Amino acid sequence: MQPIRFFSFWAINAAPLDASALNRQLAQLRDLGLDGVIFHPRRYPGDPPYLSQAYMDIVSQVILRAKELGMAFVLYDDYDELLTIPKKCNIH
């Protein structure tokens, strides 16, 4: 039987996106006994621009930190956010 694992739905809504602050929050969530996070850019204010290289670099750092902490990391996005990707990423 698999053990029960507890994840936090982690709404990311502050700007600018800061790897150090996110890594601190991640460690705090682990210290509270959570096994992982569901990273969700809910109402993300766009600094750096959503899905830009800078955004992906920061998220990658946080994913690697989660791995170091032994935590699962799930990327999540709402459907309405997916509809805006071409506009936000300057895709035509």
pLDDT digits (tens, 9 = 90+) for 28-73: 999 999 999 999 987 788 899 888 999 999 999 999 999 999 999 9
pLDDT in tens, 18-27: 999 999 999 9
Contact, 36 vs 66, CB < 8 A? Answer: yes
Rounded to two decimals, what is the model's pTM? 0.80
Q: What was the pLDDT predicted at 3? A: 83
Q: What was the pLDDT predicted at 92? A: 46
Tokens coding 80: 């309405």
CATH 3.40.190 assigned to domain 7-88? The reply is no
DSSP state, 58? H
Q: What was the pLDDT predicted at 32? A: 95
Q: How far apart are CA 62 and CA 83, in angstroms?
A: 25
Between strands 36-40 and 72-75, the pairing is: parallel
